[in-house]
Structure formats: structure tokens, C-alpha cells
Amino acid sequence: MTYGSVRLVSLAAAGIWMASASGAFAQQAGEAETELSDVRGQSVMERARPGYDAAGIRAGGFMVYPTASVTEAYEDNIYATPTNETDDFVTTLRAGVAVNSTWSRHALNLNAGLAQQFYADNGDEDRFDWNVGAGGALDITSMTALSGSLSYAQRHEDRGDPSSPAAANEPIEYTLFTGTAALSQNFARMTATVGGEYLDYDYDDSATAGGGPIDQDFRDREEFIERVRLAYNVSPDTNIYVEGQLDQREYKEAPIPPAQVRDSEGMQVVVGSEFRLTNLAQGGAYVGYQERDYDAATFGDTDGLAYGANVDWFVTPLTTVIFTADQSVEETTIGGSSGYDRQRFGVDVDHELMRNLILSGGASYGSDDFNSSPREDDLIGASAGLLYLLNRNFDVGLRYTFEDRDSNDATADYTRNVVALTLTGKL
């Protein structure tokens, strides 16, 4: 048995031990469970579970929710390559905290988190990510509200990201600063919202296995987004809206020739709805038109349909089906391509087998069509898992995921399988 296998088996044994050790807690929770009735009109993951939900820590007018977890995963293709796949065991340590206000007016929410990955045999892939953020709302009057958020994160690109350089000796790291603001005004059954968003991407340089430099500064950019929405409230649960959006993507440094400047401007107009249909479904959907114009004459402009959806269907009180769809134009650094049209469709199912045992599964399909380039990718994904809630303070989760990318660029193909076991502690 390999070292990684020993770690995975040990983690599973720890989970079983924790389940046994928490028998008294589970029994008490089970007694509470018999007094609960299933609530139609809530998703499985939204439902309150007395005896299993974290109680939190009260601190004046705030509730504090700390969490920590350890995940042991086996990945059979860590570099997302079409051939000569490399497998490894990956240990991920995570910790986070959410602080939410409990005020009757206004709101302030704070959050922070970190994640450290350790690869058993490929230490160059080890990564440390972290993030901090704050958001809130100011109720200026009963009809007027100002909301906003700030966040800063250090992240890394997945090896399967289409813009990640395959020759890099380690994953590309970058920082992302995000700021948002919105002002909403109610007029009886009408609501007008004006808002904006700012994003700042800063990529770290990398190197090849032989030590050659891989410049990533040309990817650094700022994005400015402006939105206006007018919504009509059909009922307290449902609205219909029209939204217009403008955005500008500006790169900080000129690329090294023959690469072209990738600055662009975009616009989008959509009609949509955020709804709750009695106890049957809730969510939102929109459809409309979008276009993007590039400053460089060598890059072709793009336009077409814009759409998105995220809908929870409450099939039974114990089963929720989630449908998602999205189309957008994303940035890329693939040579000769201005960007790519990204489409995603997904369906996920959550089933509450018992109050403290949730089964889940899902499937997805996506396509990436690279503008000004012949490259086209088809992506298929699938997942299955279970979540066992031991008590208020501990969860155990087991999950399998499958990813496959089929591209007309054979060097971009890959298939990846991941099995992960996670222990989570919470207060």
C-alpha cells in the first residue's frame, strides 16, 4: 500500500471513529429530528437542521461562524495532460470564518479564509490561497438602500484552465481585488438599481522546467462594469426586470510583439425574472443580447445571445434538482484569440436520505469557442457524493468528480478523476 493510500485509509478511519464517538450527540439530535416536519418550498441544502447546524458564537450584535477542514484526495491527472498522466495524493487544509451582523436595520458581513495544498510526490504543485472580504447594506430610508462589498484574494489557476501555460513548472498564481456598489430605490411595485463593479487582476510570472522565464505581466488587467436595472414586482416573491450593462477591460502593460493589445468594451441588455413559484421552484433566469468590441483590428468583434439561469426545483420535500445555464465572453491568452465564448449547462440533484445524510450527484456540459482562432473545446463533467452530518460540530463528506475536455487542439485534451474525503469542524 502506498503512503498516499495509507493517509486516505487513516482519514476514513478517523471519520468512522468520530462518528462512533459522537453517538450520544447524534442520538440527541435524532430525538429532535422526530419532531421536525419536512418543509416544501426549501432546497435540501437550505433547510434548517436543529441538532446538526452550527450554533455559531454570539459576539454583541454579530454571529461568528468558524470552520476548519482537512481533505485527502486522489487525482489521476494533476497536470491535466492528454497523455503520460501523473497521479498523486493531495492533502488540503482549510480554515475560514464568517461574521454576520444581527441588526434590525443595516447589515455588515465579514469573511476570511485560507487553504494550503500539499502534494505527496509533486511538491512544486503545493499552493497556498487566502482571501478576506467585507460586505454590507445601509438602509438610508425604508425605500432606499446602499450596498457594497470589498474583497482581496490570492488564488492559483487550475492546470486545466485554457489560459494556463502548459510549460509552466508550477501553477500560475494571481491576486484579485474586487469592489462593488449599488443603490436601490423602491417606487411602490417598481425597483430601480444602479451599480458598478471593479476587478483588478495581477498575475505572477512563472518559469519552465528548465528555468526559462514565462512572462505573465501582460495578463494584468482592470475590469470596470456598470449596470442599471428596472424591476417590476409581480408579487412579494417574484419580479420581472430589464437590465443593461456596459464594461471595459483594460490591460496594464503592452504585450511583447507579435502579441496584440487585448483591451475591449462590451455591452449587454437582458430581460429576466427572479421568482418563487409557490412551493414548486425558485431562482432566476434571463435572456438577451451581448456584444464585445476589441481595440486591436486583428481581433474580430463578437456578438450574440446572452442568457443565464439558476433554478431550484423542489421535486419532493426531500429532493431538490438544480438547473444552471450561462453564456459569457471570457478573456484568454491563447495566441491569435481575442477571447472565447463560454457556455455552460448543468443539472445537480440533492436528496435527503436521512435528516443527517445527504446524497448528491450532477452532470454538466460546456463549450469554449475561441474567437479569431479555430480552437473549439467541449467539456463534460460529472460528480457524485454524500455528506454525513455527525452533529453540530462535525461533518464527513465523500465525493467523486470526473472532468473531460475534448478539443480540436489535441494538446488541450485531458480527462481527470478525483476522489476526495473531507472532515469538517464547525462552531
List, for residues 301-311, the tens digit of each pLDDT value. 888 899 999 99
Residues 178-230: pLDDT tens digits?
Answer: 999 999 999 989 999 999 999 999 999 989 888 889 888 888 999 999 999 99
What cell was used for 318?
426531500
| SS3 call for 164 | coil
What cell was used for 335?
495566441
Instruction: Kindly report the CATH number assigned to the domain that includes residue 312.
Output: 2.40.160
pLDDT at position 14? 42
pLDDT at position 371? 83
pLDDT at position 226? 98
Domains: count for the chain: 1
How many Cβ atoms from other residues are within 10 Å of residue 403's Cβ? 19
- Residue 326 vs residues 50, 284, 309, 348: alpha-carbon distances, Å: 35, 12, 7, 15
Q: Which residues of the chain have pLDDT under 70?
A: 1-40, 255-259
Long-range contact set of residues 203-206: C-beta below 8 Å, sequence gap at least 24: 203/172, 203/173, 203/174, 204/172, 204/173, 204/174, 206/165, 206/168, 206/169, 206/170, 206/172
pLDDT at position 277? 86
CA dihedral 326, 330, 332, 337 (to 10 degrees): 100
Half-sphere exposure of 384 (CA within 13 A, CB side): 1
| Residue count (the chain) | 427
Structure pTM? 0.85
Of 213, 267, 269, 265, nearest to 241 (Cα)?
Answer: 269
How many Cβ atoms from other residues are within 10 Å of residue 324's Cβ? 16
Domain range holding 416? 3-426
pLDDT at position 256? 63
pLDDT at position 39? 57
